[in-house]
Structures are given as C-alpha cells and as structure tokens.
Homo-oligomer: A and B are copies of this chain.
C-alpha cells in the first residue's frame, strides 16, 4: 500500500528486522593475528586447544607437607601418624628426591610434589618435633590439597572456541598454556556518510541555516562500543552523484554502510534511489512504525546492509539499537549465548503517564531517580530532534506497538545506555 505521497506504508519493527535478515549474505569476517596483550574483547577466529598439560606437574594448593596419603590413614588428634620430615621443597624447583613410605617433605603453596607423594597435609593439621619427626592429626585422601598435572587443562583439550569474545580470564588462560598470539576476526568496518546541505563539521563556525554534524559522533561511539570500526566518509552535499560515489566506495571497503541525513522527502527519495542504483535487492523497507525513527530506510546491496537514517539524534540511537547493533554483532563473528546478549537493564516505575499511538513502537527516553527504596523512570520530554534529551537520559523504555501507553506508577524495564 502507498500513502498520498506515493510512499509504501511503514512496516513494523519486526518485519523490518526480518527483511534485513532475509537479504543479508553472511560472509566470514577477515582474520588477523594479534599478541594476546591486544586481544581483549576481540573475537576468536580459531579454536584453541592446549599444547600441553596445565599445570605441567602436580602442585600443592596449601602450605604443608607432601606425604603418601596411605601413611596418614586413621590419624587422629589422640592417635597421630608419625612421619620423618626429610626434605623441604622450594618454589619453582623440581624436587631431586623420591618420597618414601614414612617420610614427609615441607612444601609451600604452589610447590611441586616430589615423586612418591600423592597428597599434602596442611600445616594446621601437623606438628613438628625437634628431631625431624612430625605428628599428623588428620588423614588426607589421595590427591587431597593437590592440583595434579593436567587437572586444569589437558594437553589437546579445547579450551576456547571460534566466535568467543575474549574476556580477561580467557586471555589469562592463553598465557597459562603458553599461547602468546591468537587469530581474531577483524572488526567490521562501518561506513558513516553524513549528508545534508546544511551540515558542517564540528569545528566550523555557523552561518544562519547551518548546523554541525552530530550524528557521525553518536554513531562512531555506538559502533566502537559494539565491536565495529567506524569509517567516517565526511559530510556530503545532497547531490545524487556524490552520495552514490561515496556509497559505492564504501561497499568495496566496508561491511556496512550508514547514511545519515535529513528526514525530508526529497532527501529520503534520493537516498533510496542511490541504494537502488547500486545493486540488488536495494531498498527493502522505507518507513517503520516506530517513534522516533519512522523514516528509516533499510537496504541490502549485494549482501551488504545499507541504512538511511533520519537526521534526528534520538532516532539515530533507536535505529542503531534495533537494526544496526544486531547486524554489527553478527558481522563481528561473535557467537553469544542468547541470555548473554541482553542489554544492561533495570526495573523501575514510570513517573508520568505516557501516551502512545497503537500500531507504533515508541522508545521513550527516561532519567532514573531514587525515591525511597524505589527507582523511578522520569520521561524526558522534548522533540526527537533535540540532542539534549539523549544527554539527559539514562536509558529508554520501550512501549510495544500493541500497547496504548503507560500509566504513572507502572513497572517498566529501562534499557540503560
């Protein structure tokens, strides 16, 4: 269906997301090798199996005495086991003796167990006499207070898998097994093309009628935060050929293209035509039942997603969250558990009635406020063209399309920025 201006009716957020997913051609991201020091938050491009046992030897987990566990069986406070302390083990060194029945060797936490021993008696459960004789008050089981060779990671065992985003402890594990370089996926490059005859760079003074480019800064931050590499293509005049050239060049070098510009019909039509001119299927939706963000254009050109975002800052943020972020995460190559994908959110009570048109998903910016023990979400009023509403807000509350609005005091989930 088309409206009185000849435009297709806006489609739902879900339908828009579905269409993008259908037309995308998932490509394997590029690889690069990095020293592990630089691999934090990067996505592994290979499975990692351990080249060796970790630890490579049996270690004590306590301060105490390496023993043969069978020597301590049945020991009690009243009837201790007696052992000869024949040696002391130093950290980082291999004991140059074999422990025999009836013997014990002093060992520090982390020390290597001598041949013959299979457990460690804690310092607190033993008492030394003068003549090298020791009383043990508590039996130990085989392996007690010991991490045995390969107990942490076995040689050949797969410890990390392709698609995993490396956390601090994962990098630590790589260091532990002696892997100091890993292959990771390159960050997906996302082209940001700012358009508009009225837009000037942030450093420019303004003539009447001009405004500075804000959206490329918002987008660059959001893209970086979610694992992408923003590629700013500068500010272009609203001229078909210039925009077409910039998108064409971006399609060759980037994995996603975002055109931000005005929301005027003329500009939107030009953006649509540029997308359609460059490959198939071109524009796949133009207009979403969403506020803010209605005039969003979604397209795919030969498998690469291309978006035309309305110029309103709040709309840019909402569209990023709904359409761009999920694609960007996918392009990073990361494989996440469903429940770990969730955005940081908190429950609050809405502090004002908020009306919402049915059939349109509304994203309301809110400020969090403590009131007694409760957290309240105060809607930030103001047009979506204002950057200030985004700066004031701590997060957003989503009113689904089928809901008419919110009543003061309703419990809501706030998605935090």
Contact = CB atoms under 8 A, between A and B. Distances in A.
A36 B216 CA distance: 12
A362 B375 CA distance: 28
Contact of A159 (B176, B221, B383, B391): B391
A25 B233 CA distance: 47
A198 B91 contact: yes
A54 B390 CA distance: 14
Given A5-B124, A147-B385, A313 B169 contact: yes
A313 B370 contact: no
A357 to B, nearest CB: 15
Nearest to A209: B112
A174 to B, nearest CB: 8
B92 A197 contact: yes
A121 B379 CA distance: 27
Contact of A172 (B172, B215, B385): B215
A54 B389 CA distance: 13
Given A110-B198, A110-B311, A199-B92, A63 B264 contact: yes
A240 interface: no
Interface in A256-277: 262-267
Interface residues of A, number: 103
Contact of A170 (B171, B172, B202, B391): B391
Contacts of A339: 346, 368, 370, 375
A9 to B, nearest CB: 14
A221 B147 contact: no
A157 to B, nearest CB: 9
A152 interface: yes
A7 to B, nearest CB: 11
**Central interface residue in A167, A168, A172, by most chain B CB within 10 Å:** A172
Interface in A383-416: 383, 385-388, 390-391, 394, 416
Contacts of A221: 40, 167-169, 171-172
Contacts of A168: 217-222, 225, 317
A252 interface: no
A40 B224 contact: yes
A28 interface: no
Contacts of A55: 211
A372 interface: no
Interface string A143-177: 00001000111000001100000011111111111
A41 B222 CA distance: 11
Given A92-B197, A197-B92, A370-B338, A213 B5 contact: no
A110 B262 contact: yes
A178 B214 CA distance: 10
A57 to B, nearest CB: 5
B202 A175 contact: yes
Given A173-B214, A178-B202, A196 B159 contact: no
A30 interface: no
Nearest to A60: B264
A100 interface: no
18 contacts: A40-B225, A61-B385, A90-B197, A91-B197, A91-B209, A92-B196, A110-B196, A110-B263, A147-B383, A152-B385, A160-B391, A167-B221, A169-B317, A175-B202, A175-B212, A337-B394, A339-B368, A340-B368
Given A55-B211, A153-B387, 5 more contacts: A61-B383, A92-B196, A92-B199, A108-B264, A108-B266
